[in-house]
Each structure stands twice: as C-alpha cells, then as structure tokens.
Structure 1
Amino acid sequence: MVATSFTGFADTKGSFFQALAKHQDREWFAAHKAEYEAGWASPMATLLAEAREALDGEYPDFELGAPKVFRIHRDVRFSADKSPYKPHASGALSLGHDKVKMDVAVALYLQVGTETFAGAGTYGMEAPALARFRAVVQSDRGEELTQLLRPLEKKGFTLESMGMLKRAPRGVDPGHPRVELLKRKGLVVVFPALAPEELTSRKALTTLVKHAKAAAPVVRWVARAVQD
C-alpha cells in the first residue's frame, strides 16, 4: 500500500541495494522484496505523486504524466552483465506521456540506492527532435537557453546527456558561441546532490521540488524547441 505522504526513504546509505549487489539472485530478492517495497518503491511513488502536484503549475502548456516508478529488474537481453536487478530505485514525472522513455522530457527524475541522482530534461533525442533542437539553439533564439542555464550553473546545477559529439555537428561553425550545447544529443539539468540526511526525511521532497522548479524554465524551453 502506498502512503499518502512522503516521510523519507529507508536509510541514508542504500543498505538494501548494497546487500542486493552481493546477492544478485531471484531467491534472495523474493525473500527481501517487502523490504524493497516498503523502504524504497512505495516512498518513491509517494514522493513523485506529491512532486507532481507541486510542479503542475510550472508546466501550463504540458500535462504532467502519471508518476512512474521504474522496474527494479534489468533488461539483460543485450548486456554482458546478466545481473537481474538494478542497484537502485528510480522514477520520473514526464511531460505529456505516461510512458517514460529516454527521448521524453521529464520534469523530475530521481534515482536512489548505491548512487543517488536527480535531474530534469531530455536525456536523449531521436533524430528529428535533435535536428529541431540544434536548429533552434543555433539560431538567435538559442541565446535564451544560454541565459536560462547561466544562473543554474552558478548554483551548482550541471548538464548531462545520452551522448556528446567530439566535434561540432556537420554544418555548424566550430566557433559558434553555443557549440558545446550543439554537440549534445539531449539536455538534462542535473540537480545538486541531496545531503544523505535528507533522504530519510521529508526534506528530500522539499529540496527536489525546489530544484525541479528552478530547472523547469530550461525543460519547458527545450520541450517547445523540439516541437517547433
């Protein structure tokens, strides 16, 4: 049963996931599944539901999708690593989609476990969307994105993407003022790290909502750019 109010995750160190990393077998997970559900999956669902309410007003032109907690089971079909379970719990709030994929913009993505990560944006863009993104960034409108990113970077936010070219894209002047953005194949605003003690209290929700609201103008800008 999912709680109605987020009160924190099970602990600050991801102890369950540290143990899971040493016991990557279905028998062990089945015996400890209740611990995962109560300490990590259920709190994740509750946090995302509350964050959705808090962030809805930041996206007047988009409908936030239903909170999505990702499966802990890994897709090992094309991986040399056949470990069946991820070493973390994760979930997201998408813009306009209930199905969250790499090329879908998210208002919030959160991962907690052996490593903690939070951010917002579009991790990887499919070719048509990437072409539109680069065209807008290359145009005079691209300066708007620079202006939106500058104060975030001063506050400790960083940028990430699925991939990044070593050189300027074909047809782009290597001296273009936004060439580093143009090299990217997506754009995620990575939030400053949560303090460990925040994970076990409602402070995690408060901090994540604050960061997600700060990143929202960038997420909106990119989402509109790829729709142009």
Structure 2
Amino acid sequence: MPTDRFEGFADRKGAFFAALAKHQDREWFAAHKAEYDEGWAKPLGALLAEAREAVDDLYPDFELGEAKVFRIHRDVRFSADKSPYKTHAGGLVPLGHAKVALDVSAALYVQVGTESFAAAGMYGMGPEALARYRAAVADEKRGKEIEKIVLGLVKKGFSLDSMETLKKVPRGLEPDHPRAELLKRKGLIVMFPKLEPAELVSRKILTTIVKHAKAAAPFVRWVAGVAEGR
C-alpha cells in the first residue's frame, strides 16, 4: 500500500465519478484513468494506511491486515447491469485473513465518489460465523455487551446496517427476544456519522474518520471476536 501522506481527494463532489457514470466504456476510462489513480485511488490508499496505523493499538488481540483499495471494475457476471465500472472508490482495513469471503471483518471501510461514507464491522457472515453471532446476541451476558456498545454509538450519530435483515427472528429463538433487531441481521456494521463533502479535499476527513474508527473499535472487536468463536 502507498506510504504517501494523505492530503485529500480531488474534489468535494466526485466529479470524476459523475462523468464516469455517463461514460461507462473502456475507451473513456483509459483516457481518464490518471484522474482516477491520482485523484482518488492513491489518496484513498494513503488515507487507509494512515488510519490503520492510528487504530492498530486498539486491536491487541487481532492482526490488522494491510489496507486495501478495491478494483474499480464491477463484477457483472450475475448482474443485469453490465456497466463495467463502479462510480466510487472503496477500500478497507481488514482484521486477519478470513477463509470465507463473507467473514471479512473491517476495522474501517471507506467509500468516496458519487456517494461517500465510512463504516466498520462485518457486512455479511458465512453460516458458521452467523451461528456464533446469533448465539452470542441471544446470550444474556454477551448480548447485553453488544447492546450497550450499539446504544452508545447510536447516541454519537452512528447507525446499524447489514447485507441482509430478516423480517422475523430466526427459527429456534424467541420471537419477542429483547435483542430481536440484532438477531434478524445476517451481518452487522456501524455506519459512521455522515461525512462532510467539504472535508474530502483536506486532511480533515482523515481526522474525522480516525476519530469514528476509534469509537467503533469495541464494536468491531465484539463482532469479529464472536464470529471467530472467541
């Protein structure tokens, strides 16, 4: 990953991505690739690398993986939309090396472009991790731990999200369980408070994201820990 100092992204509104949305063809992208690399991909890599260093001490029992910027190319194999490019740049700081793709925990995920946001946690879980997560949420002691953590984050402007949320509590668990909303989820992340576009063009966005990533660390440790069977 890049070791350059993060100095901000190309602009506040993701003008490159707005143009890319209108020109979803390889010829246009090839002609403008340098704009993406220099204005978005490289700065994102630098931001993630600096943020990783800032939060590393908060994960003494986990191994933080190297910061990673995702490819801009979309996986269109199973999609009706064959547009070849994403309209954002995204990347994460993972915990460990998950054997199942769904089981990736992130100390930090950042997306910038036509829509910009940051988050942390496990967006989705494979069957084994999900079973452990549900057992922990249903458990009186461990369930109250995550409930308290979540309530504290919500008060600070964070919100919950997941890849999928069931309409009902999974079979075998109390339908009126006090943590029913957590039990319905098939993954669990916290969305950070809204990122201010004006901050994207300076180091202010790094300061903001690191502050939120530190606040979210107890949440990520809990989710990643139970998913791994700790």
Shorter-chain TM-score range: over 0.9
Question: What residue number does 2:71 align with?
Answer: 71
Residue 42 (structure 1) shift: 0.4
| Residues 2 and 49, structure 2, Cα contact 8 Å, conserved in 1 | no
Return the alpha-carbon distance in structure 1 between the equivalents of residues 163 and 58 of structure 2: 25
- Residues 37-76 of structure 1, C-alpha deviations (whole Å, 9 max, x = no match): 0000000010011011001011000111011000000011
Question: What residue number does 2:114 align with?
Answer: 114
> CA separation of 1:158/1:37 partners in 2, compared to 1, >3 Å: closer, same or farther?
same
Instruction: Determine helix, strand or coil for the equivalent of 2:72.
Output: coil
Question: What residue number does 1:210 align with?
Answer: 211
Amino acid at match of 2:146: L
Residue 103 (structure 1) shift: 2.2
> CA separation of 1:144/1:227 partners in 2, compared to 1, >3 Å: closer, same or farther?
same
Return the alpha-carbon distance in structure 1 between the equivalents of residues 100 and 111 of structure 2: 14
> CA separation of 1:219/1:226 partners in 2, compared to 1, >3 Å: closer, same or farther?
same
Runs of 4+ residues deviating >3 angstroms: 98-102
Question: What residue number does 1:89 align with?
Answer: 89
Residue 151 (structure 1) shift: 1.3
Question: What residue number does 1:132 align with?
Answer: 132
Return the alpha-carbon distance in structure 1 between the equivalents of residues 98 and 170 of structure 2: 32
Matches within 5 A, 1:4-43: 4-43=4-43
Return the alpha-carbon distance in structure 2 between the equivalents of residues 17 and 216 of structure 1: 31
> CA separation of 1:100/1:126 partners in 2, compared to 1, >3 Å: closer, same or farther?
closer
Amino acid at match of 1:202: R
Question: What residue number does 1:142 align with?
Answer: 143
> CA separation of 1:135/1:99 partners in 2, compared to 1, >3 Å: closer, same or farther?
closer
| Residues 3 and 42, structure 1, Cα contact 8 Å, conserved in 2 | no
Instruction: Determine helix, strand or coil for the equivalent of 1:159.
Output: strand
Question: What residue number does 1:178 align with?
Answer: 179
Return the alpha-carbon distance in structure 2 between the equivalents of residues 178 and 47 of structure 1: 35
Residue 117 (structure 1) shift: 1.7
Instruction: Determine helix, strand or coil for the equivalent of 2:48.
Output: helix
Instruction: Determine helix, strand or coil for the equivalent of 1:81.
Output: coil
> CA separation of 1:149/1:47 partners in 2, compared to 1, >3 Å: closer, same or farther?
same
| Residues 64 and 95, structure 2, Cα contact 8 Å, conserved in 1 | yes
Taking only the aligned residue pairs, the percentage that are identical comes to 68
- Residues 133-181 of structure 1, C-alpha deviations (whole Å, 9 max, x = no match): 0001101120000111111101110000010110111011111100100
Amino acid at match of 2:17: F
- Residues 181-226 of structure 1, C-alpha deviations (whole Å, 9 max, x = no match): 0000000010001111110000111100100110110110111112
| Residues 108 and 119, structure 1, Cα contact 8 Å, conserved in 2 | yes
Amino acid at match of 2:75: D
Return the alpha-carbon distance in structure 2 between the equivalents of residues 59 and 153 of structure 1: 22
Return the alpha-carbon distance in structure 1 between the equivalents of residues 102 and 41 of structure 2: 21
Residue 99 (structure 1) shift: 8.9
TM-score by length of 1: 0.97
Return the alpha-carbon distance in structure 2 between the equivalents of residues 225 and 105 of structure 1: 11
Return the alpha-carbon distance in structure 2 between the equivalents of residues 131 and 108 of structure 1: 24
TM-score by length of 2: 0.96
Question: What residue number does 1:54 align with?
Answer: 54
> CA separation of 1:99/1:56 partners in 2, compared to 1, >3 Å: closer, same or farther?
farther
Long gaps (5+) in structure 2 = none
Matches within 5 A, 1:180-199: 180-199=181-200
Instruction: Determine helix, strand or coil for the equivalent of 1:86.
Output: coil
Return the alpha-carbon distance in structure 1 between the equivalents of residues 191 and 61 of structure 2: 23
